[in-house]
Amino acid sequence: MQNMGLLIQRQREYFQKGQTKDLSFRIQQLKVLKKAIFMYEEEIMKALKKDVNKSFFESYETEIGMVLQEINYAIKNIKNWSKPKKVKTPIVHFPAQSHIYQEPYGVVLILSPWNYPFQLAMVPLIGAIAAGNCVMMKPSELSPYTSKIIAKIVKTMYNPAYVAVVEGGIQESQFLLKQKWDYIFFTGSTRVGRLVMEAAAKHLTPVTLELGGKSPCIVDKEACIDVAAKRIVWGKLLNAGQTCVAPDYILVHHTVKKPLVESMRKYIQQFYGTQVNDQFPRIINQHHFERLVALMKEGTIVGGGYHCKNTLQIAPTLMDEVSFEDPLMQEEIFGPLLPVIEYKKWSEVVQHIESRPKPLAFYFFSENKKKQKRVLQQFSFGGGCINDTILHLATPYMPFGGIGESGMGRYHGKTSFETFSHEKSVINRGTWLDIPFRYPPYNYKLGILRKVLR
């Protein structure tokens, strides 16, 4: 722990030297990161395979590819993002010019989870570097192989006084959270998110919290059922359902429930077969495996249900006759179990969604444009898709983040840069003119002020 304390001190000193603020330095560091990812691509994929049995395709699609896309986007735009922005100046301040300057926070902490262990550590890192910060990272102890390769990349490419990785578990995390940071970026559960915010409050450190929760998927009777089934199955079963924005459960209009379930069965069979094969990701550990197997005992299994304790794999499982009161509907599932609950009236959907915490993601399947508009106006959620799942996260052109219990703050693309930058507003006044109106004594001036500022 003492070493960590010293390292933070070194990072603080390094930041004060000012080198990280230099634009060409930042671009260079992003290029270095990109080069390292190409160099270690195979090791990263092997680590992900060992940690969660991710196939190489999924690893490239949802982790490496996304990180490369974010780096390229940052390198291309960083110059523009960091330019001081000239804005209007109120006439009463004449003569003056107003600018907003982007400045890095300083030394920032990034805590990340195990489910997309590479991407969820690297994408915030890109934003932090682009903005000119020094960075301390603590990846998850539950994905130790990926944590190791992240540590190796960072150690090989960067001076630890600039970017460093702490490998460790809760104890290390708690130690880090006690220290003073200029910004904390946390991705993980809502439960730990509360602890992070509590720790940050002690030093009044600003935070981004990227959390989880239950993300609903609503299938209207006017949905294109076959396409909906295919896209839901894909989104739910990426990483065996261990995805923060996975559709947690389906609310389907009762008239289309049967064809939807049939289509989903068809696609599960087509994509994965009846039992799990070596390509299907495993559940992260025994504790979560047993939790999910216990949840499978609720309701009726209408597809899948197979699970293997030795490999910690659970086959894609569709569940019927689940009620809102069942434990399956009380906690984030975070696994390949998909409850399908029918509704008859729209008011049931409204009542259900509005009585629960605001979700991280929300999916609505319908061809009816009026209904699409109504859903967007009615419900509050982090982000989502109409007629698809997951994709809103896989783009550098939109901010990604939660609301309420699913998180606060946002990142990806330009918003990552903004998250790790403080906007410093500065007015630069001329001295050749100094209208005395604002100076005491005020005497008759209030009347004039009222006329000007109304």
Which residues are annotated as catalytic? 210, 244
* H or E stretch at 127: helix 119-131
Three-class SS state of 57? helix
Q: Applying CB under 6 A, does 244 fall inside the site for ligand NAD?
A: yes
Q: Which residues are 135's β-sheet partners?
A: 108, 163
Contact 326, 299 (CB under 8 A): yes
**Separation of alpha carbons 52 and 49, rounded Å:** 6
Range in contact with ligand NAD (rule: CB under 6 A) among 9-17, 206-214, 344-352, 364-372: 206-214
Q: Applying CB under 6 A, does 20 fall inside the site for ligand NAD?
A: no
Question: Judged by CB under 6 A, how many residues of this single chain contact ligand NAD?
Answer: 29
Least distance to ligand NAD, CB of residue 215, Å: 9
Range in contact with ligand NAD (rule: CB under 6 A) among 57-65, 138-146, 264-272, 293-301: 138-146
Q: Applying CB under 6 A, does 171 fall inside the site for ligand NAD?
A: no
User: What are 269's two structure tokens?
Assistant: 């069979």
Contact 188, 207 (CB under 8 A): no
Torsion angle (degrees, nearest 10) of CA 269, 273, 276, 282: -60
Q: Applying CB under 6 A, does 192 fall inside the site for ligand NAD?
A: yes
Least distance to ligand NAD, CB of residue 192, Å: 3
Burial class of residue 401, CB neighbours in 10 A (0-12, 13-18, 19+): buried
| Of 29, 62, 82, 140, the one binding ligand NAD by CB under 6 A | 140
| Distances from the Cα of 43 to the Cα of 31, 125, 153, 433, angstroms | 19, 19, 10, 65
| Of 104, 124, 212, 216, the one binding ligand NAD by CB under 6 A | 212
Contact 393, 81 (CB under 8 A): no
Residue in the shown chain whose Cβ atom is closest to ligand NAD: 212
- Residue type at 77 in one-letter notation: N
Range in contact with ligand NAD (rule: CB under 6 A) among 114-122, 261-269, 305-313, 437-445: 114-122
Q: Applying CB under 6 A, does 115 fall inside the site for ligand NAD?
A: yes
Range in contact with ligand NAD (rule: CB under 6 A) among 74-82, 109-117, 364-372, 439-447: 109-117
Count the helices and strands in the chain (H runs, E runs).
Answer: 16, 18
Nearer to ligand NAD, 220 or 248 (CB): 248
Give me the residues that bind ligand NAD (CB under 6 A), please: 111-115, 120, 138, 140-142, 169-170, 173-174, 177, 187-189, 192, 195, 210-212, 244, 332, 334, 360, 402, 407
